[in-house]
């Protein structure tokens, strides 16, 4: 495991002020982070994004029609979104990134081949106002699972969960698993929890049935009711859920369905969840709140100080722990005096040492492309992070809703940045192998 510490000098921190040429976007903490991502994805699917022109190579199917919704003209050049110089393919490890956004694609390294999954193209991008989009992606043993669903003002509609096996560098035929709004991979990385979330309070029954399925779609657990709670993560102690407000968390037993003791305040802002830990912040501290890492086993908490004038990014894909639960990678916004974000950085927190390191390179800009609807702030830049299988390196993908860019950081040295490409990517997973 690389040493993520920065020595006696403390974290590598730079605070910057507001860019007067780029209007800031307000940080809206009361809306759940996942739903902001869904809203951004729906924008791209309904006309805010550009479909990339791709070729398929042994991926199981041919891409659908090139135009299924109004599209803007291609930008004359794709500006970089991530700091760092171009990388030679030989400097990258072997990996397959499953990219979800306006389309479902596989990016293979080090060859950098981009492959469209044709079967998904035929399902995605149906007509507005409820376009079908990629809502969640997660790695499982032997492949990955994906949730394809429409969107509503309060979250995703009920959609289809598919298992996509990956073998010999290619995605095989998809396997339907369940109808659901949310999914979470079990700690064994093989079975999948699915939830059919009920409507908001006062709008109908809100049982939110939740159950565990195996890779053949067979239900292998009782059906539990979450009652207005939404599935966040499947941990070693139970199901971690969150209320409709996007704040607070509950732990639900996977044996009885009853609530379990959780040493996290009921109104906490959950930043990330691992197999045995949950990361959160107190809601009463708007800027530079300490990050609490609470063990789900014994309730003990570790506090990690964040840089001045910073807060977890509102639009970032959920921040993630490494497999050992020793580090968490997170995207932090730099805020101006009005508490508006001006740029972002990717950080790694060493939990045991209570240290924070900022990844090399300059800041990630707030936005790169206009919405085309009169909003001068443009699209929010969504940054997703995933740990490599060994837990020592990070893959990072940033997207402005029109284009995306990927990068790899091995744990030391500079960020290895790939060329920017056309297409909206709001989440990704690493395919096994």
Average pLDDT score over residue span 300-316: 88
The tally of domains found in the chain comes to: 1
Inform me whether the pLDDT recorded for 280 exceeds 60: yes
* pLDDT the model gives residue 224: 94
Mean pLDDT of the chain: 77
262 domain residue, yes or no: yes
Which pLDDT does position 9 carry in this prediction?
Answer: 35
- What is the structure's pLDDT at 17? 27
CATH number at residue 44: 2.130.10.10
Asked, for residue 34, whether it belongs to a domain, the answer is: yes
Domain membership flag for residue 69: no
- Looking at per-residue pLDDT, the higher value among 157 and 329 belongs to 329
426 compared with 36, residue with greater pLDDT: 426
Tens digits of per-residue pLDDT, 142-183?
Answer: 899 999 988 765 667 889 999 999 887 677 889 999 999 999
Checking if the pLDDT of 268 tops 70, the result is: yes
**74, 92, 238, 311, 332 from 317: Cα distances, Å:** 26, 23, 22, 14, 12
2 domain residue, yes or no = no
Q: Please indicate, yes or no, if residue 20 is contained in any of the structural domains.
A: no
The whole-number pLDDT of residue 133 equals 84
- Dump pLDDT digits (tens) for 371-396: 443 344 445 788 999 999 877 899 99
Query: pLDDT digit string (tens) for 193-241?
Result: 999 986 655 555 568 899 999 999 999 999 999 887 889 999 999 999 9
pLDDT of residue 38: 55
Range 304-317 average pLDDT: 86
Q: Kindly report which listed range (42-46, 227-231, 275-279) carries the lowest average pLDDT score.
A: 42-46
Confidence of residue 124 (pLDDT cuts 50, 70, 90): confident
On whether residue 332 sits in a domain, the answer given is yes
What is d(CA 178, CA 183) in angstroms, rounded to the nearest whole number? 10
**pLDDT tens-digit profile of 77-116?**
688 888 877 788 788 888 999 999 888 999 988 888 888 8
What pLDDT is recorded for position 49? Answer: 34
pLDDT at 350 > cutoff 50: yes
Range of the domain at 145: 25-64+76-430
């Amino acid at each position: 495991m690389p040493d993520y510490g920065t020595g006696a000098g403390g974290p590598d921190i730079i605070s910057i002020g507001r860019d007067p040429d780029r209007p800031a976007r307000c940080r809206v903490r009361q809306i759940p982070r996942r739903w902001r991502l869904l809203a951004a994805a729906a924008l791209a699917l309904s006309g805010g994004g550009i479909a990339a022109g791709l070729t398929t190579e042994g991926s199981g199917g041919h891409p659908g029609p090139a135009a299924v919704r109004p599209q803007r003209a291609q930008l004359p050049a794709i500006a970089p979104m991530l700091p760092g110089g171009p990388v030679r393919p030989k400097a990258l490890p072997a990996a397959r990134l499953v990219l979800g956004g306006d389309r479902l694609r596989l990016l293979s390294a080090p060859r950098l081949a981009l492959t469209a999954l044709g079967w998904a193209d035929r399902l995605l991008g149906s007509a507005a106002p409820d376009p079908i989009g990629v809502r969640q992606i997660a790695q499982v043993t032997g492949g990955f699972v994906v949730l394809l669903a429409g969107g509503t003002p309060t979250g995703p509609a009920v959609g289809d969960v598919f298992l996509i096996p990956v073998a010999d560098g290619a995605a095989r035929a998809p396997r339907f698993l369940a109808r659901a709004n949310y999914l979470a991979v079990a700690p064994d990385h093989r079975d999948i929890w699915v939830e059919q979330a009920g409507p908001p309070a006062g709008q109908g029954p809100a049982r939110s049935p939740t159950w565990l399925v195996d890779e053949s779609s067979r239900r292998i657990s009782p059906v539990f009711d979450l009652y207005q709670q939404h599935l966040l993560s499947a941990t070693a102690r139970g199901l971690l859920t969150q209320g409709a407000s996007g704040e607070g968390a509950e732990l639900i037993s996977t044996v009885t369905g009853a609530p379990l003791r959780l040493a996290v305040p009921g109104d906490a802002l959950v930043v990330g969840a691992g197999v045995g830990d949950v990361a959160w912040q107190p809601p009463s501290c708007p800027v530079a709140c300490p990050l609490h890492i609470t063990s789900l086993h014994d309730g003990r908490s570790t506090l990690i100080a964040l840089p001045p004038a910073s807060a977890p990014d509102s639009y970032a894909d959920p921040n993630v722990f490494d497999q050992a639960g020793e580090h968490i990678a997170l995207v932090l916004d730099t805020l101006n005096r009005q508490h508006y974000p001006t740029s972002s950085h990717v950080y790694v927190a060493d939990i045991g040492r209570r240290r924070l390191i900022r990844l090399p390179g300059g800041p990630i800009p707030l936005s790169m492309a206009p919405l085309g609807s009169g909003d001068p702030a443009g699209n929010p830049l969504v940054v997703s992070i995933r740990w490599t299988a060994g837990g020592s390196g990070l893959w990072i993908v940033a997207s402005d809703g029109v284009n995306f860019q990927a990068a790899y950081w091995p744990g030391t040295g500079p960020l290895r940045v790939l060329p920017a490409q056309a297409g909206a990517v709001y989440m990704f997973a690493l395919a096994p192998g």
